[in-house]
Amino acid sequence: MTTTTKPVKKKNWFVRLMNMDTSGSKGSGEKLPLYRQLGIQLLCILITIEVMFPILYIITLSLSSTGVRPSKLELFPKEISLVAFKEVLTRPTANPVDFITLLRNSALLSITVGLVSLLVAVTAAYAFARFKFKLRQVLMIMVFIPLLMPAVGLSTPLFLLMNSFRLVNCPGGVTAFYPFTACDAGAFGKVIFNLRDSLLGVGIAMISTALPFAVWNLKGYLDTIPKELEEAASIDGADSNQVFWQIVLPLALPQLAVTFFLGFIGYWQEFLLPWLFLTKPEDYTLAMTLYNMTGQYANSIPWNRFAAMAIIVALPVAIVYVILQKQIVSGLTAGGVKG
């Protein structure tokens, strides 16, 4: 008895082309058909267009010599003029404050808040990760609760708290430090210093809002560092401070860079607290000045200067990312693998 085999029907050339492996892997690696490769590339192109669209539009506006917003969409500049950048760097707004002062205030706030909050957060995170003490779980939950609250909800108690610390020149040449000392009953003095209306007060308020995220972010990473390394250092004669500064911190450096960078983005662009707290133009930040450029109507906004200021405000974040890029990438990948 003979059996007949049906001839294998060849697939259409288009089907074979779409199923062609484009992964480049040899052996038993996962294959990547051409149709999936094309789908991924198309998705990446769409994401790139969506990301680059506002950037190209802002760059085009900043290179215009007129402050009028274009009547139609223009993604590529018709002219290259640096007039807007020159005007912004000379005098950003009508306030008598130069650009260097605004840059100094923003840099002072963001860098100081970032470093102080990072130092406090890493010590607190290390205590939560390594030590066992009473009410440890309760304190961890209390640290986490502010993350669930909107920034606007925290601004009012911070405003009242910072506003209660004042230096007042009382009648008779006596200086009172509220709320610890006060002028005589019925006497009113001149306020010399108000913690709320100062960069110091804004910095303290920003640190209080930055600590919860920094503590929880670092605590999760410190949990992944083997305790055996610290025990080995202790056996070799290292005390607790040496273990922390010479063993733990170097190992946590990538995550410290990630935490600082993520916080720096928020500190540099912080608008709510400085806008609520500060009243003196010499204490304004770049974010506040960018908001001051907006008017009641769209036609009253100098769009070329506004776009130039937006680019200048965004540049430091990009520069910090380039400087810390290696640590940020290694910290993100290590945090994703070790957990």
Q: Is the peptide bond before 179 cis (omega within 30 degrees of 0)?
A: yes
How many whole angstroms separate alpha carbon 68 and alpha carbon 119? 46
CB-facing half-sphere around the CA of 307: CA atoms within 13 A: 25
> At 266, which CATH number?
1.10.3720.10
CB atoms within 10 A of CB 90: 9
List, for residues 242-264, the tens digit of each pLDDT value. 888 888 888 888 888 888 888 88
- Tell me which long-range contacts 163-168 makes (C-beta under 8 A, separation of at least 24): 163/194, 163/195, 163/196, 165/194, 165/195, 165/196, 165/201, 166/191, 166/192, 166/193, 166/194, 166/195, 167/191, 167/192, 167/193, 167/194, 168/192
How many whole angstroms separate alpha carbon 286 and alpha carbon 274? 10
Query: Does residue 213 lie within any of the structural domains?
Result: yes
**Higher confidence at residue 327 or residue 65?**
65
The alpha helices in the chain, defined as continuous H runs, are: 13-18, 34-62, 83-90, 99-130, 136-144, 151-163, 199-222, 227-235, 240-242, 249-251, 253-268, 272-277, 286-292, 303-323, 325-338
Q: What is the pLDDT of residue 17?
A: 65
List, for residues 80-130, the tens digit of each pLDDT value. 888 888 888 888 777 778 889 999 999 999 999 999 999 999 999 998 888
> How far from 273 is each of 180, 203, 209, CA to CA, in Å?
25, 9, 10
Q: What is the pLDDT of residue 337?
A: 44
- The structure's pTM equals 0.78
Scan for tokens 């506006």, then name that residue. 61
Q: Does residue 333 register a pLDDT over 80?
A: no
Query: Does residue 49 lie within any of the structural domains?
Result: no
| Nearest CA-CA partner of 91 in 309, 311, 314, 301 | 309
What's the burial of 201, exposed, middle or buried (CB within 10 Å: 0-12/13-18/19+)?
buried
21 three-state secondary structure = strand
Query: Does residue 121 lie within any of the structural domains?
Result: yes
Query: Does residue 294 lie within any of the structural domains?
Result: yes
> Do 308 and 99 contact (CB within 8 A), yes or no?
no
174 three-state secondary structure = strand
Query: Does residue 2 lie within any of the structural domains?
Result: no
Query: Does residue 18 lie within any of the structural domains?
Result: no
CB atoms within 10 A of CB 284: 23
Q: Does residue 317 register a pLDDT over 90?
A: no
Q: Does residue 6 register a pLDDT over 60?
A: no
Report the domain count for the chain: 1
Q: Domain residues for 228?
A: 83-338
Query: Does residue 231 lie within any of the structural domains?
Result: yes
| Average pLDDT for the chain | 82
> Do 108 and 199 contact (CB within 8 A), yes or no?
yes
How many whole angstroms separate alpha carbon 257 and alpha carbon 5? 66
Q: What is the pLDDT of residue 151?
A: 78
How many whole angstroms separate alpha carbon 220 and alpha carbon 214? 10
| Nearest CA-CA partner of 273 in 285, 290, 259, 257 | 285
Query: Does residue 40 lie within any of the structural domains?
Result: no
Kindly indicate the confidence band of residue 334, based on its pLDDT and cuts at 50, 70 and 90.
low
